[in-house]
Amino acid sequence: MDPITFAGGFANIVGLIADFAASRGQRDVLEMKDFLEWLRFHGFEELRGKIEASTAVTVGVKAALAEGKDELLVKLAAIEQLLTALTVGQGSLHTLALAVSPNTALSPQAKDILMAFEDAAAGKALLHESFEGSHLLMLDGEKSSSFSPTEQRFFDADLSELLGLQLFEAEFNKKGNRLFQLTRRGAAVGRALIDARGGVAPK
């Protein structure tokens, strides 16, 4: 399947599942038969036929619906935020993503964290905490570097956001200190952010 067909088909199904879930009122249980009937009622007979014709797609849709309305909508919101992050540096697509859903944009500080990693070509950092505040010490990379937040009170929230979007992974070292590992996805977003700023990372 070519990328355009896949992207369009996946986005279409996910969007319709979200619309279906949102239309269920207070009902948390989402049934496959109800979704297929909802598609027929709203004129998506061709898509309904494609879903029923593919065992893999049918199983995938059933699994998504089985999450329940509230859980499913939370996960779909996370996908929306991730897609917005991944359109950074894509010009009109990023503008469109922010116009459609402005609340899904990464915070300025979260963007700065990603760019700091990419600017130093770092993959792992130690979270150093003290009474004065917290900052990140890069443990590898092409140059010795660190990141000191400008908004200390939102630092933990920004790190949690990056983890939730799978732009970072986290673990603890033997001393119990938190380590943050940049993912390939995070590196790609960081590079796109730097490129969008004309190749200059914030200092």
- pLDDT tens figures, 13-59: 888 888 888 888 766 778 899 999 999 999 999 888 888 888 898 99
**Which range (63-67, 124-128, 176-180) has the least confidence?**
63-67
Cβ neighbours for 142, distance < 8 A, ≥ 6 positions apart: 120, 121
Q: What is the pLDDT of residue 5?
A: 47
Structural domains in the chain plus CATH codes: 3-101 (no CATH), 106-196 (1.10.10.10)
Q: In what order do the strands lie in the sheet with 133-138?
A: 146-147, 133-138, 124-130, 178-182, 168-172
* CA angle at 101 for the pair 100 and 102, rounded to the nearest 5°: 115
Q: What is the pLDDT of residues 112-147, one digit of tens each?
A: 999 999 999 999 999 998 888 899 999 998 877 899
Q: What is the mean pLDDT of the chain?
A: 83
Q: What is the pLDDT of residue 201?
A: 67
| β-sheet bridge partners, residue 172 | 178
CA gap 123, 166 in Å, rounded: 14
pLDDT at residue 65 greater than cutoff 50: yes
pLDDT band at 171; cut points 50, 70, 90: very high
| Mean pLDDT score, 102-119 | 84
* 3-class SS string, the chain: CCHHHHHHHHHHHHHHHHHHHHCCCCCCCCCHHHHHHHHHHCCCHHHHHHHHHCHHHHHHHHHHHHCCHHHHHHHHHHHHHHHHHHCCCCCHHHHHHHHHCHHHCCCHHHHHHHHHHHHCCCCEEEEEEECCEEEEEECCCCCCCEECCCCHHHHHHHHHHHHHCCCEEEEECCCCCEEEEECHHHHHHHHHHHHHCCCCCCC
